[in-house]
Amino acid sequence: MNDLVLMEGINKAFPGVQALNQAHFDLRAGEVHALVGENGAGKSTLMKILAGVYSKDSGRIVYRGKEVEIPNPRAAQDLGISMIHQELNLMPHLTVAQNVFIGREPRRGLSFLLDDDKINAQTQTLFDAMHLRLDPRVRVADLTIAKQQMVEIAKALSFQAQVLIMDEPTAALTEAEIEELFRIIRQLRDRGVGIVYISHRLEELKQIADRITVMRDGRYVGTEDARTVPIERIISMMVGRTIYESKPELPERPSQEVVLEVRGLNRGNVIKDVSFQLRKGEILGFAGLMGAGRTEVARAIFGADPIDSGEIYVHGKKVEIRHPRDAVRHGIGYLSEDRKRFGLALSMDVESNIVLASFEKFLRPLGVVNTARTRETGQHYVEALAIKTPSLQQRVKNLSGGTQQKVVVGKWLTANTDILIFDEPTRGIDVGAKSEIYHLLNDLARQGKSIIMISSELPEILRMSHRIIVMCEGRITGELTAAEATQERIMTYATQRRVLVDTGEAEGGVSSAQEG
């Protein structure tokens, strides 16, 4: 066949995870090939191997009929393979042209003199070929994200890229910018460039992709013709049968008492009119794809980010939360998905971390710490939460991910919080420790704590939640009870882009979005 790229039997393991398992992918010249899958399906990992960012453990890559090794990004570029990463790799202080030619500057006369006129002209030629109106002399910092992406594309083209990999290129773009991006993608495709398009936005693929390959749990699931395959089929391929199907272990039904109510929460583009209730003893799952706005909602409730509008009620009383301090005072604790950055003082010991959020309770006059009481409290939670640590004096950075998570829980319990927001509570935690975290969450719920659990792992959401709220692009697109929830239904809500819900409403959707 006329395969430009063929990847076969690719394996890649990261500590604790088999990221890719016999993964397969092929790309033809002159096609846009979409690569889709749930979070953690291995799409980005597979493409980073092709782009030389990661090295594969085993498997083979065939490029233009020849087996190749791609040890680093430079080697990929030399082969004509360029990847545009989700987080753009540009130097904001340099101009557009300087960015395009960084590391390969044409020089004049003495070999250390720059020739900026030449790179400006060459960059202009590239832009002309792309029919793109952009001044090569503007500083990248002054460009929109969309324009910065165009600069990355131009940079890739200047390497004579034959393969262009784009990781979630439309995540930060407006509708008009997406149209511009698609125009350029089609242009490149018609010129014979093979384009890999990683995206969560399934509706979008209908417009731009020729073929769609689905991955799940690091494996290849299948490839379909983008024009004919129904979206439902793609979703069911993405979800599939879960490998670690386990019996839901829901604690008994929560009471009807509402402990937290959020009404009409708005924040810029990321939170749009979010309202929900959380009941006593309930685990409320928040499902959605990356960037759906779940973490943003949590941070807004916790006072970590300012909100534009919206009301928050705790135990039926309206509260003002402007700062995490206010949230803690009202009994709300937030357990960040990035424990190491936001949850723990890594180089401090277990005891200090447990009392960190409520230090003032352990102070004697003159600000002297009552160490007897901090030790007592630390000891209490180490036992109550079964924190596996050799001693209270162990530094938390030496503990495993699951144990660290328990230390954070201990911290919030010490601070007397009864509403706990867990953001990806089992991320980076190995399978054995995961079930311990699940038990802990269930125990907390049974004791009358109310829990919001944000998770991108559908099996986890289904197994743990009494109710599930699904978000997409800053909105709540659906709410499901534990009984009615299935992976398919969650995915359907999670990919429901407002503008593309259905043609009848689409017009109204667009215009109201523009007004808002």
- The Cα–Cα gap between 133 and 400 comes to 52
**Using the rule CB under 8 A, is 117 a contact of other proteins?**
no
Alpha-carbon dihedral sign for residues 127, 132, 138, 144:
negative
**Using the rule CB under 8 A, is 253 a contact of other proteins?**
no
Q: Which is nearer to other proteins, 133 or 317 (CB)?
A: 133
Number of residues that bind other proteins (CB under 8 A): 26
Which residue from 274, 203, 71, 212 is spatially nearest to 497, judged by alpha carbons? Answer: 203
CB of 99 to other proteins, least distance (A): 8
Distances (CA, A) of 376 to 295, 381, 442: 34, 9, 25
CB of 81 to other proteins, least distance (A): 14
Kind and range of the H or E run holding 127 = helix 116-129
**Using the rule CB under 8 A, is 109 a contact of other proteins?**
no
Selected binder of other proteins within 58, 89, 309, 391 (CB under 8 A): 89
Return the residues of window 44-73 that contact other proteins according to CB under 8 A: 73
CB of 26 to other proteins, least distance (A): 26
- The Cα–Cα gap between 515 and 495 comes to 23
Instruction: Return the DSSP state at 251.
Output: P
Note whether 239 and 278 are within 8 A (CB).
no
CB of 110 to other proteins, least distance (A): 9
Q: Which is nearer to other proteins, 93 or 446 (CB)?
A: 93
Q: Which is nearer to other proteins, 49 or 357 (CB)?
A: 49
Options 84-92, 200-208, 228-236, 342-350: segment touching other proteins (CB under 8 A): 84-92
Give the DSSP letter string of 487-499: HHHHHHHHT--GG
Selected binder of other proteins within 93, 227, 318, 322 (CB under 8 A): 93
Residues facing 36 on adjacent strands: 214
Residue whose structure tokens are 């490839």: 223
Selected binder of other proteins within 82, 98, 149, 417 (CB under 8 A): 98
Bridge-based pairing state of the strands 163-167 and 81-84? parallel
Q: Which is nearer to other proteins, 47 or 382 (CB)?
A: 47
CB of 259 to other proteins, least distance (A): 39
Q: Which is nearer to other proteins, 111 or 228 (CB)?
A: 111
CB of 53 to other proteins, least distance (A): 8
Note whether 151 and 125 are within 8 A (CB).
no
> x-or-dash pattern for other proteins, window 482-501, by CB under 8 A?
--------------------
Q: Which is nearer to other proteins, 104 or 318 (CB)?
A: 104
Q: How far is CA 362 from the centre of its chain?
A: 38
Note whether 306 and 286 are within 8 A (CB).
no
Strand order in the sheet with 258-267: 271-279, 258-267, 309-314, 317-319
Phi, psi (degrees; rounded to nearest 5) at 68 = -130, 155
Note whether 50 and 165 are within 8 A (CB).
yes
Q: Which is nearer to other proteins, 158 or 394 (CB)?
A: 158
> x-or-dash pattern for other proteins, window 125-144, by CB under 8 A?
---x----x-x-xxx--x--
The token duo for 256 is 């009807």
Return the residues of window 134-193 that contact other proteins according to CB under 8 A: 135, 137-139, 142
Which residue from 47, 253, 464 is spatially nearest to 56, judged by alpha carbons? Answer: 47
**Using the rule CB under 8 A, is 443 a contact of other proteins?**
no
Options 12-20, 103-111, 168-176, 353-361: segment touching other proteins (CB under 8 A): 103-111
Residues contacting 513, CB < 8 A, separation 6+: 498, 499
Selected binder of other proteins within 3, 26, 105, 203 (CB under 8 A): 105
List contacts with other proteins (CB under 8 A): 73-74, 77, 89-94, 98, 102-105, 107, 112-114, 124, 128, 133, 135, 137-139, 142
